[in-house]
Structure 1
Amino acid sequence: MAGVDWLWILHPFLAVVLVYPLVGVVVRLAVQTRARRLQKQNLPVTVGRDHSDLGRWLAAAVVIVVLIALSVVIGTKVPVAEFKGGLGRAIQLLLVLVGTIVSLLALWRCKRPGLRLAFSLITWAGVLGLGAQPEVWRLSDNPLTPAFWQSHYWAGVGVTGLMLFSLGARAEILRDIRMRRLHVTANVLAALLFLTQGLTGTRDLLEIPLGWQKSTIYACDFNAKTCPSLDPNAQP
């Protein structure tokens, strides 16, 4: 594997060792928090706070891992000399990336509801803006097609938005029963999307060849599921 190939597996590596363990812990604490609130179990008073604190870390980790994935795909899809738009576009995309990270940090520290909403939307818009670049592969952009709902990218964008909602509305969720119910609904959906991401991410890893294999693999006809025959006299 070349260096670029290691960069391409950085996103799934971080998802496996960081995001999914956090998902398990946060879900477990969520169940305990609800059980304690309903007085079904005698649990420590700290479970709610632990759930909220780790939920913040989960939301931030999801955004960062997604940004890493998008940055690697955009930055390594083609050689630097062939990068569409040249230096000007590269600088623009870098500014979007930096602005998205700054917005996430501001959301993490901000207390005022209006600013939290604004920074949540700005962060998500940054993710969507980077994801809309032509270097980012998507099965489909049409929600009326089955391929759209099987897309690893769109499920990832969706779960990122749900995580940003939970992070931005954290204070309201703690004190408003209606927001708490919305939070539960949103995170049940997020849990389903995380399961989907595990499946589609594994599928996509099988379809991504190593750098030195791409010229041969991409010569295949993916619709007909055929590849050109290799010259048996060619040197390996």
Structure 2
Amino acid sequence: MTAVDWLWLLHPALAVVIIYPLIGMVLRLAWQTRQRRVNKVKHPAVVGHDHSQLGRWLAASVQCLVLIALAVAIGSKVPLAEFSGGIGRAGLLVLVLLGSVASLVALWFSQALSLRLVFALISWAGVLGLGAQPEVWKQDHYWSGVVVTGLMLCSLALRPEILRDLRLRRLHITFSVLAAALFVVQGITGSRDLLEIPLSWQKPAVYACDFEAKVCPAPPQGAS
């Protein structure tokens, strides 16, 4: 495997090591928080606080992971000398990436609701802008990732209000159920897509195949 192949493994590896364990912990704490509030089950009083804090880290981690995936997809498609648009376009895309990260940091520390909503929108717009580039493989895995990122950022932006407002709390539960379903879709489609991405040295042979007809050119005479 080359360095480029290892870069392509960075996104799924981080998802397995960081994102999905966090999802399990957040969902368990969410269930315990609801049982304690609604059914008066005697869970520790800190479950609600822990759920909220881990939820923040999950939202930020998902955003960062998606940005990493998009950066790798765009940056490793072709050598820099062959990059469409040259250094000017590359620099603009780097600014979009940095702007999305900066907006996420600002969202994390902002107090006012209006600022949180603006920074969440800017950060998500960075994901959409990078995802719109032609180098990005736009299958259902990509679209579910974009949607779940938006849901995570929305929950992060509304976190203080969710804690105080019952209607927003119910909306948050709806968003969370939808996000959990999308994370399942991500796990399935991501595993499938890994089977479809060849190693860098295999790409010339694999991409010579006809994917519609599911046939590949015959090997040269004498090839073993």
1:178 aligns with 2:167: yes
How far apart, CA to CA, are the structure 1 residues paired with 2:67 and 2:76?
Answer: 14
1:23 aligns with 2:23: yes
How far apart, CA to CA, are the structure 2 residues paired with 1:173 and 1:87?
Answer: 44
Partner amino acid, structure 2, of 1:201? G
- 1:135-154 equivalent positions in 2, closer than 5 A: 135-139=135-139, 151-154=140-143
Match in the other structure for 1:225: 214
How far apart, CA to CA, are the structure 2 residues paired with 1:158 and 1:199?
Answer: 16
Structure 2 residues without counterparts, runs of 5 or longer = none
- Measured on the aligned residues, the alpha-carbon RMSD in Å equals 0.8
Which deviates more from structure 2 when the two are superposed, residues 180-189 or residues 224-233?
224-233
Match in the other structure for 1:191: 180
Partner amino acid, structure 2, of 1:195? V
Partner amino acid, structure 1, of 2:68? I
Match in the other structure for 2:92: 92
Q: Deviations over 1:10-57 (max 9, x none)?
A: 000000000000000000000000000014310111000000000000
How far apart, CA to CA, are the structure 2 residues paired with 1:94 and 1:84?
Answer: 14
Match in the other structure for 1:133: 133
1:160 aligns with 2:149: yes
How far apart, CA to CA, are the structure 1 residues paired with 2:106 and 2:120?
Answer: 9
Match in the other structure for 1:143: none
Residue identity over aligned pairs, in percent, reads 65
Match in the other structure for 1:148: none
SS of the equivalent of 1:9 reads helix
Q: Give TM-score, length-normalised by structure 2.
A: 0.99
Q: CA deviation at 1:111?
A: 0.6
Match in the other structure for 1:205: 194
1:61 aligns with 2:78: no
Partner amino acid, structure 2, of 1:63? Q
Partner amino acid, structure 2, of 1:182? L
Number of residue pairs matched by the alignment: 224
Q: CA deviation at 1:79?
A: 1.1
Match in the other structure for 1:82: 82
Match in the other structure for 1:145: none
Match in the other structure for 2:51: 51
Moved over 2 A (4+): none
